Amino acid sequence: ADVEHIMPQTLTPQWRHDLGTEADRIHSRWLHTPGNLTLSAYNQSLANRTFGEKRQHYARSNIGMTRELASLERWSEAEIQRRGESMAEIASKIWVGPIQPYVAPPASVGTRELSPEDPGSLFYTHILEGNFGLARVSNWRELVDCAVRTSSQKGVAFAVLEQIAGAKDQNPG
């Protein structure tokens, strides 16, 4: 089966007539929306055919949602919109969204950017890392060391950071 546009990608004079004076607006707004798409084994042969001709093929479809199209007398903006809403309702029952509302993590407080121009200064900054709380660091090496320790508690591998942090033992500073 292929994905087929019920209202075709190129409007024929008959489709323009069937859609009415707003044909171009309807076509532009609804062409690639789920309500105007269906699965069909006849995609190539149906192409730009009228809805009446397509209905005959839809009636023989093994796919229920495509077969249902055969019960419609016409294909207009209202039918496309209704079908799209129906598909969204079905999808929302199949793919349930999050049960709990999203809560943004608290912003870090008392932070100060570490500066590479100031590697030996004795300043303090706070970093907030998930559920691990506040950690105090006074230089870049301590920051990297803290990040490595924190990540290892979560089981995350930071090979490059571990290598950099290992330099702390060799070059005290």
Half-sphere exposure of 151 (CA within 13 A, CB side): 14
77 and 139 co-located in one domain: no
79 and 119 co-located in one domain: no
Q: State the pLDDT at residue 162.
A: 47
Half-sphere exposure of 156 (CA within 13 A, CB side): 9
Q: 27 in a domain, yes or no?
A: yes
Query: What domain range includes position 26?
Result: 2-94
Q: Is the pLDDT confidence value at 40 over 90? A: no
Q: What percent of the chain has pLDDT over 90?
A: 45
The domain boundary residue, chosen from 66, 94, 122 = 94
Other Cβ atoms within 10 Å of 57 Cβ, number: 19
111 and 77 co-located in one domain: no
40-55: average pLDDT: 85
Nearest to 112 by CA among 98, 129, 125: 125
Q: State the pLDDT at residue 114.
A: 53
Q: State the pLDDT at residue 164.
A: 45
How far apart, in whole angstroms, are the C-alpha atoms of residue 63 and residue 71?
14
pTM, 2 dp: 0.56
Q: 90 in a domain, yes or no?
A: yes
